[in-house]
Amino acid sequence: MAERIGVYPGTFDPITNGHVDIIRRALRICDRLIVAVAENIGKSPLFTLEERLALVNHELGIVNGADGGKAQAKVFGGLLMHFAEENGAVMIIRGLRAVSDFDYEFQMAGMNARLDPDVEMVYLMASEQQQFIASRLVKEIASLGGEIESFVPPNTAKALRSKFA
């Protein structure tokens, strides 16, 4: 049977425990997962593309240790559906937290389905523990000297602390 490749796209500015949770669970439903780190210049990320990729790669090293090397990170700069097609993906994975995520994701799913109906958008509900984690809020807390250790992996926490040192 053909390998089922999934793409998990995002800005990952920076990667949080919520993202890691989605990566681990996505690996249960696809044979191989590409974590697609968006250039997303328009969003003016706090971390450079290289930094975001390195932080994602660090966590994939840990995840792959347990899951047999099925996840890899790649950078993408163009249209998500083109990236999915170029990489032979059959599904795009996104995490869903609160209802507030729904509007944007619903619209994105509709637009992407029009661009390529053969690539399925698959939504995983955030786990109870990770429901409220958002990179944006983690950055705000870090910038104000708050505790971020329960929201992000230790390596990311270190990177955030040195950004705001």
- Check if the beta carbon of residue 63 is closer than 8 Å to that of residue 91: no
Catalytic status, residue 139:
no
Binding of ligand PNS at residue 38 (CB under 6 A)? yes
3-state secondary structure at position 152: coil
Which one of the listed residues 4, 32, 97, 163 is annotated catalytic?
97
Structure tokens at 65: 């240790």
Which of 111, 140, 146, 161 is close enough to bind ligand PNS by CB under 6 A?
111
20 vs 6, 12, 27, 56, 118, CA distance in Å? 15, 10, 11, 9, 26
- Whether cis (ω within 30° of 0) applies to the bond prior to 154 is no
Catalytic status, residue 135:
yes
Which of 10, 14, 18, 153 is close enough to bind ligand PNS by CB under 6 A?
10
Which of 6, 7, 8, 9 is close enough to bind ligand PNS by CB under 6 A?
9
Which of 15, 34, 49, 112 is close enough to bind ligand PNS by CB under 6 A?
112
3-state secondary structure at position 125: strand
Catalytic center residues: 19, 43, 97, 135
Binding region for ligand PNS (CB under 6 A): 9-11, 38, 40, 79-80, 108, 111-112
